[in-house]
Structures are given as structure tokens and as C-alpha cells.
Amino acid sequence: MSKTLLKLENLTMKFGGVTALNEVNLEVKEGEILALIGPNGAGKTTVFNVITGVYQATSGSVLFDGHNLVGRKRFQITGLGVARTFQNIRLFGDMTTLENVITATDVHKKSGLVGSLFGTPRARREERENRTKALEILEFIGIDEYSDRLAKNLPYGVQRRLEIARAMGTTPKLLLLDEPAAGFNPQEKVELATTIKKVRDAGYTVLLIEHDMSLIMGISDRVAVLDFGTKIADDSPTVVQNDPRVIEAYLGVPADAS
Amino acid sequence: MKNFNLRDFGADIWERSNRPVRVAIVIVVIGLVAMMPYAGAGFLATPIAAYDAVIVYPVAIFVLMSLGLNIVVGKSGMLDLGYVAFFAIGAYTMGFLGIHTSLNTWEIMPIGIGLAMLAGVMLGLPTLRLRGDYLAIVTLGFGEIIRIVALNVSWTNGPNGISGIPMPPDIGPLKFRLDDQKVFFWVVLAMILMTIWMIRRLSVRRPGRAWEAIRQDEDAAELMGVPTLKYKIWSFTLGAAVGGAAGVLYGSKNLFVAPEMFTLNVSILILACVVFGGIGNIWGVIVGGVILGYLPDRIRFISDARLLVFGLVLVVVMNFRPDGLLPRKKREKALVKKGANS
Amino acid sequence: MFTVFIDQFWQLTISGIALGFIYVLIALGYTMVYGVLRMINFANSEIFMWGTFGAIVASRDLFRYNQTTEPATGGKLALVLFIQLFAAMAFAAVVSVIVELAAYRRLRARGTNRLATLISAIGMSMVLSETMRLMTDSRPVGSPRILEKVILTEVWGAQIRLDTLITIVAAGAIFIILERFVKLSRMGKAIRAVSMNEDAAKLMGINLNRVITVTFLVGGLATGAAGFFYVTVYEYTKFNIGFTMGLAAFTAAVVGGIGNIRGAFFGGVFLGLAEVYASAILGTQWKAVTIFIVLVLVLLFKPNGLFGEAVQQTRA
């Protein structure tokens, strides 16, 4: 049994009178791919937002690698090793592909404004390290040929992949992917599944929000299901797939069940 | 040539050159600019004020301040409408210390810059958390507040201002004189070059990326690990430093400072220079500062209505050419050979 | 320091309320436009300034009043005041719509570049004030006295003058009319729909451009009315009066919760009183500083305003 990397304990998130998450408990083990599924509005992205510090949890805790993330600033959480992608692509459009990733690699670097201004040896070294690392990531994800293109001019599929590459730039222990396959055709989904597995095999832990069931069944080690802010299932893909409550809440919708 | 744009044209030449050629280009350009005080006869002559004075103030000082404001507005996307405050702080520091102490301009310079930066941090810490338009109105208010304070406290001598401010001491053979302001021009030129150096250095390294990310999507930037508040304050403070430096020199050149020199209008003028030339692009901002600084003194009609013209510039440029004369647009290297449509 | 404040408390309170009612109307201009655009209309202060000139143009050029003319009485007085009010509102409303067309519309059509829109609006504000400066030679313009400033009565040692009373009553009435308009009329409902959810409103078939223009128009009417009262009470105007008045009224809108129409009322009165009291204690030269500090404090600690929640929730 590998160790627990992320643990949500009784996590509750309320917006005014609306309860978006209700006493959610969830564990992510090191090195696994955990898929978080559920109908629209079930609170999946809210989970990501609470983990990454966009929202402050109403109650409950988020334990990550020995730290409680609740109350920390967003960039500090990223620094501790949690990185995410966005459902609606939010790249830095006027930067090149490479610069997008380098911006993320900066998080673990020490040199600041003064070092950059005077070009201290450390600043120069870190710039070189960043560049090398960013290029490695782009190659790993398979979009290195686009390094010098502006992010806003990239084809859609490359933008989605760049989202993942940029998140990997922060050297995360845990990678949160928010619908990485949205808008993909079946061929692209297969490629993406391969990439995500490759990412996991390279030592990253992946928490994934996705709607496409075949993709989820194909790659995830475990599936957790949210419905109206409550976790209703958490097990291996095959067990979840046959859970009557899940079928009722989610898989019961014929169009999505394929 | 399809879609000709001056910035890309210039960048092309630059990229095709090797290091010695680049050094030569830089030296020639700086040399030519340094000769500008001798170009006052004929077409460039200014009918209203003496040419050698005009190219120091407004032209060169506008360029310097525009570069400073561009760090805030162009690089990190924050609208600072109170930029004049930092200019005023620099100028008053020069005035006060120049009169009451034996420090000379060069000794006061770091103090003025330091105080302007301090004011930048003090204003920035609480307000840079605010959303864009709130920040704009708060800075707008701050600019006016500094003027009102200068008008009403005793050590600034109120509306009468501070007069008898000393000129800078000579630098070797270079003598500062009122009737011949060449040396002032060269000093401001040196300050401009230092500012350009600073901005270019920072732009290609971590701070530049952080600002660029903040400008484009602040939330995403923070989630990618950029300490946004810290870099916003840096941006604000560096802008303040440049404004403060310009103010110190202006005070020492003008020999007199008074509150009415530091109205909201100055902030708007500088903003117009930034916007006109090409927000976010150093060369654009320089061109904007030169044109908008110089034209009102060249064309009599514009002189009276200068603020009206500058206001119109803001509206028209934003509506019809938001990138200004020289757009910031970055070029994509080597995109053609890699198959643009995959 | 506090003696003036204590001795004159009731007098100050009355002037504060009258000033506050002027702020209420300008704040309405800010808050309505903010509601539909989610953006501060930087030019609103200059729209107000143009309104004050509208009032003076009416009395001076239309009715040929000058500084030596006797103040009007009876029916004539009511007519002149009414025409002045109308002119101020009309001037401001026209300018306000021009601001929308020239500074906002094109940028809105092209997408949401907030920075560009803010700069465009600040440029427009400069254009408006400079045009007036050039037209008036940078000089203050006195308003002929239309209204004899009769002292009607004294309450607790505070004089209630006719102009103060008219300001409070008429400004209050205009506020109520506009508030009802937004609440009840078809157009008003469309305006509120847009401020709550622009996309949904568009889906419901609301013509966004028209709603926004009408919002600027109504905001301009309110702001222009404020210009009339300003001229009636202070009997002068100048091309640069917009800045401080605008800053104060904007602060009032923020204090009341920007986007919230009733909030503008409380915010305006609060600010009028705060300003008058602070001026009595600290001296009038610190007026703008006081307003600024109030603005910063409210933005930092109560960004939704002091009087309960703003109507709209901020969008993610």
C-alpha cells in the first residue's frame, strides 16, 4: 500500500445558502490516477478550487504531504507541489509555448528581481535550468515543435496539452487535470490517455476530472463519484461502473454512458 | 511586404546582426541621439520655447517618465493614474533638501528615488489587491492628494512653492547652465538608457515573465506559483523610482517647484505618451514620448489645446489602434518551417 | 478644533444633507453605469460639470439674467428654476450618451479589454474638461442669482434657507422618480436584468446596446440634476469642479455598495455629512484628503459597501 499524498477530510464548501461540497472525504495515494466524476454541477471543479486555494473551505481540511493547505496562499500551495490545469483553457496567450512553461518553473527558483536585474550567477544559472527543464517537459508531452509559437495561436489540442505541460513546469507531486479531454475527438482522446499514463509512470500522481467514461475506465486506478456535493462512490473503475447509485446519478444518463 | 510593421522590421535587422554589428548600431544610435541638442535650427526649431530646453523638458523627461509608467501599465497591466505623485515626491525632495542642506543633486537623487519607492510601497501594499478600475481611481485620488498636501503643509511653502533650488554641480568639463541645456539633455539621456537597460534585463527574466503572466491572467499566474502581489508591488515601485528620479532632475533643472506643476494632467500626459507609442513596447513608448512631448512646442495650435489633444489621443488610439504606433506584438520565430496548421 | 463643529452642529448637519443629496444624484450616475458595464465611468465627474454649465446657460443666455438682475419670484421663479433644471439634465444626458458612444461602444463590441476601456474613458473625461476650459478661458463662471436665499426658519439655531430646502426636496423627488423608473418600468427592468446577468439578459432578447445607452442617459439625467442643485446652492461653476465632486460621489457610491441604487442614497448622505463635519474639524483644505481616505478604507475593509450587500454578486 503506497502512502497517502492528499487527504480531504469532511470538506464542506458553502456559497451563501448553497452547499457545493458536503462533508467530502477523499484520499489520493501516491502514484495513482484517481478520476473524479459526477454530473454537471456536482462540485468537481469546486474540489479543485478548494485544494488549490481559490476558495477557502467552509469547514474541513485538506492535508497534502504533511501540510494543511486550508488558509494558504495560492502560489504557496503550488510551491508545495500541487498544480492544476483549467477546464476553460487559461494559458498566457501572448507568451510563447516555452515561456508559458518557464513561467511555471520559476516557482522553485530563488532569484528574484534584484538578482535578475544584475544578472547574478545564480539568476543566470536558474534561467538556464528553467529553459532546459521546460524544453524537457515540452518534449515529454510531445509539443516541443511548438516551443516558439505564441500560445494563443496554437491549435486547440496543443493548447490543452500545453496546459498540462505548464502545470508540470511547477514540478508538482500532485497534478490536477480539469477535463483535459474536453473537445477532443476519439483519436485525440486515445493519445491523451497515453500521455496521462506516461505522466503517472514518470512519478506524478494524477487527480483527474473527466466526463468521458471510456477514457476514465481505460486509465484510472480508482474512481470517485460526486453527486450534489456528496461523495457517493469511491472504488475501482469496474466496481463503480456497476454501482447502482452511480448508475442512477450519473451513468443513468444514456448519452454520457458510452 | 504584407503587414509591414516597424517593430518587426527593426527586430529583423537586429536579429540578423551579430554582436559587433549590434554594438555598432547601439553606439551610432546613442551618438545620434546625443547630438540632438545641435539639431535645433531649421525644421526642428521650436517657436514657443527654446529648442534646447524643449528637448530636455518636456521631450526627454516625458520619455523617461513614460518608460517608468510603462513598467506599471504596459508590463503588468495596472492602470496607475497618479503617476505624477512620484514625480512630485522626487521634485520636492530635491527642492527641500537642496534648500535646507548642502547635499547636491547627485546626492539627493538616491534619496528622492528612495522616497518615491517608499511611497510606491505604501500606496501599493493596500491597494494593489484591488481590482483594476478601483486601483485606477485610488491612484487618481493619490496623485491629487499629494498635490493638496504640498499645497497645505508648511515645509513645502504651500502654493508659493520652493524656489532657489540649486543646479546640479558640474561634471568635469560639463557645465549645467540655464541658457544652454545640452548637459541636462545628456544627463536625462543617460537616465533613459539606464531605465531601458533595467527594463530589458527584467523583461527577459523571471520578473518580466511574472508581470506578463499577471497582465494576461492574474489568477492563472498565481496558481502557477507566481507571487502576484509581490511582483505587482515591484512593478509599481520601480515605476515610482523612475518617476522620482525624473522629479529630482526636473526640480534641479527648473530651480523651482510648486504644487500647480503636479496636477492630474501630468499623469494623463504621460499615460497618453505610453498609449500613443505602443503600450508595453519600450520603443513605442519612446516614440510616443518624443512625439507628444515635442509637437505641442513645435505647432503653436497644439500648445494651447495640448491636454485636449492628449485626451483625444487616448480615446482615438484605444478605439482604433489599441496597440499604438509600434505594437507590442511578439514575433513567432521559426513558425513557417514547422507547418503552421497541424 | 472642535468648537466650530460643536457650535455649528445642526447648521453643518443641514448643509451636509443638502450636499449629500447632490452626491446622491451623481453617485446614481456612477452606480447605474457600473451596474451594467462593471466598470467605473471615469467621465461622470465631467458630465456633472457640463450639467452645471447647462443650468447657467439657461438662466444667463435664455432668460438673460446677469449679476445685477433682481432674483425672480413667484411663477417666474418656478419657471426659470424648472428650465434650468431641465437644461442641466439635458446637457448632461447628451454628454453622457456621447461618452458612451465615443469611449465605450466600439471597445465593447470588440471584446473585453478592460485596460483599454478605462484608458478610453479617462481620455474622454480629459476631452470634456479641456473643451470646457478652452471655452471658458479657464475662468470660473458665476451664476446669476435666481433664487433669493431667504431664511425660512431656524431649528436648534440652524438656519434653513430656501435653496437648501429646494435642493433636499427636489433632489429627493428626482431620486425617487429615477429609482421607481429602474424598479418598475420595462426599460428599468431590462437594465436590472443586464446588471444581474448580462449573458442571460441577452438570451432573453434584451437589446444590450440600447439598454446601455439608456443607462448612460438616465445616469446623465441624474448627474445633470445634481449640476443644477450645485449651481443653485453655490452660484458658480468652473471647468475643474468635476474632480473633487466626482471623487466624493464615487466614494458615496462605493460606500453604498456600488451597483446598488438605494445604497447610493445612503452613501451620498453619509458622504455629505462626513465631508461637512470633517471640513469643520480639520479645515476645508483637507476635504479631498478626507474623502480619499474614506474611499480607500471602504474599498479595503468593506468592498461591498457599508449598507449591506451589494445587489449583484461579483462574477467569477
| pLDDT digits 0-9 by tens, A114-169 | 999 998 999 999 999 999 999 999 999 999 999 999 999 999 999 999 999 999 99
ipTM, two decimals, is: 0.92
Extended beta strands in chain C, E state: 141-142, 151-155, 158-161, 236-237
- Asked whether the beta carbons of residue B305 and residue C102 sit closer than 8 angstroms, the reply is no
Chains that contact C by 3+ CB pairs under 8 Å?
B
- Whole-number pLDDT of residue A257: 41
List the single residue in B221, B223, B332 with the smallest CB-CB distance to A149. Answer: B332
Taking residue B12's Cβ as centre, other Cβ atoms within 10 Å add up to 11
CA proximity to B192, closest of B59, B36, B47: B59
List the single residue in B77, B308, B320 with the smallest CB-CB distance to C115. Answer: B77
Question: What parts of chain B have a pLDDT lower than 70?
Answer: 1-5, 329-342
Does residue C261 form part of some domain?
no
A234, β-bridge pairs = A224
- Whole-number pLDDT of residue A251: 54
How far apart (Å, rounded) are the C-alpha atoms in residues B38 and B165? 27
The CATH 3.40.50.300 portion of chain A extends over: 1-81+173-258
- Whole-number pLDDT of residue B207: 96
How far apart (Å, rounded) are the C-alpha atoms in residues B46 and B42? 9
- Whole-number pLDDT of residue B335: 42
| Structural domain span for residue C84 | 26-239
- Whole-number pLDDT of residue C310: 43
Taking residue A67's Cβ as centre, other Cβ atoms within 10 Å add up to 14
User: What are the boundaries of each domain within chain B?
Assistant: 50-262
Question: What parts of chain C have a pLDDT lower than 70?
Answer: 1, 112, 308-316
Taking residue B179's Cβ as centre, other Cβ atoms within 10 Å add up to 7
How far apart (Å, rounded) are the C-alpha atoms in residues A42 and A28? 19
C-alpha cell at C49: 460639470
List the single residue in C120, C286, C300 with the smallest CB-CB distance to B126. Answer: C300
Give the relative orientation of helices B105-127 and B228-254 as an angle to the nearest 10 degrees. Answer: 150
Which residues, other chains included, contact C156 with Cβ-Cβ below 8 Å and sequence gap of 6+? Answer: C10
3-state secondary structure chain A: CCCEEEEEEEEEEEECCEEEEEEEEEEEECCCEEEEECCCCCCHHHHHHHHCCCCCCCEEEEEECCEECCCCCHHHHHHHCEEECCCCCCCCCCCEHHHHHHHHHHHHCCCCHHHHHHCCHHHHHHHHHHHHHHHHHHHHHCCHHHCCCEHHHCCHHHHHHHHHHHHHHCCCCEEEEECCCCCCCHHHHHHHHHHHHHHHHCCCEEEEECCCHHHHHHHCCEEEEEECCEEEEEECHHHHHHCHHHHHHHHCCHHHHC
Contact status, residue C166 vs residue C18, Cβ threshold 8 Å: no
State the smallest CA–CA distance between residue C244 and chain B in angstroms.
9
| Topology, domain A1-81+173-258 | Rossmann fold (3.40.50)
Does residue C249 form part of some domain?
no
How far apart (Å, rounded) are the C-alpha atoms in residues C64 and C43? 30
How far apart (Å, rounded) are the C-alpha atoms in residues B144 and B152? 12
Instruction: Give chain B positions within 8 Å (CB) of A73.
Output: 222, 227
Give the nearest chain A residue to B332 (CA atoms): A149
Amino acid symbol at B9: F
- Whole-number pLDDT of residue A252: 55
B221 lies within 8 A of chain A by CB: yes
Whose cell is 437644461? That residue is C87
Q: What is the pLDDT of residues C1-37, one digit of tens each?
A: 678 788 888 989 999 999 999 999 999 999 999 988 8
How far apart (Å, rounded) are the C-alpha atoms in residues A147 and A138? 8
The whole-angstrom distance between residue A147's C-alpha and the CA centroid of its chain comes to: 22
pLDDT at A54 over 80: yes
How far apart (Å, rounded) are the C-alpha atoms in residues A244 and C109? 50
Q: What is the mean pLDDT of residues A86-108?
A: 94
- Whole-number pLDDT of residue B332: 61
Amino acid symbol at A210: E
What is the count of structural domains for chain C? 1
Does residue C197 form part of some domain?
yes
Q: What is the pLDDT of residues A176-231, one digit of tens each?
A: 999 999 999 999 999 999 999 999 999 999 999 998 888 998 899 999 999 989 99
State the smallest CA–CA distance between residue B173 and chain C in angstroms.
44
A131 lies within 8 A of chain B by CB: no
- Whole-number pLDDT of residue B338: 39
Instruction: Give chain C positions within 8 Å (CB) of B145.
Output: 288-289, 292
A61, β-bridge pairs = A9
HSE at residue B167, side-chain half, CA atoms within 13 A, is 15
Chains A and B form CB pairs within 8 A to the count of 108
Does residue C282 form part of some domain?
no
- Whole-number pLDDT of residue B337: 38
Mean pLDDT of all residues in chain A?
Answer: 91
Contact status, residue B172 vs residue B260, Cβ threshold 8 Å: no
How far apart (Å, rounded) are the C-alpha atoms in residues A236 and A221? 6
Q: Cis omega before residue B37 (within 30°)?
A: no
Instruction: Give chain C positions within 8 Å (CB) of B133.
Output: 39-40, 114, 118
State the smallest CA–CA distance between residue A59 and chain B in angstroms.
22
A9, β-bridge pairs = A61
